[in-house]
Amino acid sequence: MAFCRGELLAQQISKFSPMSICEAFAVQRRVFADGPADRAEAEVLFGVCSTFEPNDSAWKCAFTKTITDHLLGQGQQYGFLEFDGEEWLMEMLSAANGLHQTIVFELMKCVVETAQNASEELARFALSCTLQCLREPAAQFSQEKSTHPQAAQR
């Protein structure tokens, strides 16, 4: 069986959870010390992301850092999206049904802020993700109001 650093990162964070953001970054740096995640490892991270709680800050930060490094660290100079990076990211985020919107927002924010060659299409997609993230709490609030009639009367 092939060694997958993506699986190792998820195992380490879940094994020692709860952990601080600093500890998560230390684990992330140790696991990916020899270079950024490759495409297969990044896809593994998307696959296991839904197994973590949406409010797990340690996981969210390690995941965001690893995917951002994957997208921006493959070329000669850090900070440039290479090849089909934008398309891959948009496909992964569109297909990731179990991915919480706050994680999507953090990832898009980090990539768009850091990428020196992000396209207008990626910026529009990031804005769409941001709007979805903002809508999610409002939808959750209105659903809670409808399930609790006493709260709606206040």
Residues 18-34: tens digit of each pLDDT: 899 999 999 999 999 99
Which residues of the chain fall below pLDDT 50? 1, 139-144, 151-154
Kindly list the domain boundaries of the chain, sorted by start residue.
5-145
- Predicted local distance difference test score (pLDDT) of residue 96: 79
Dihedral of CA atoms 99, 105, 107, 110 in degrees, nearest 10, equals 180
Q: What local confidence, expressed as pLDDT, does residue 141 receive?
A: 44
Instruction: Provide the pLDDT for residue 146.
Output: 52
pLDDT at position 154: 45
Question: In this predicted structure, what is the pLDDT of residue 97?
Answer: 74
pTM: 0.82
Residue 152 is predicted with a pLDDT of 47
* pLDDT at 77 (0 to 100): 80
Q: What is the structure's pLDDT at 12? A: 92
Q: Please, how many CA atoms are within 13 Å of residue 86, restricted to the half-sphere of its CB?
A: 16
Phi first, then psi: what are they for 7, rounded to 5°?
A: -65, -40
**Taking the chain, what is the end-to-end CA distance rounded to the nearest angstrom?**
59
Instruction: Count the neighbouring beta carbons within 10 Å of the beta carbon of residue 70.
Output: 24
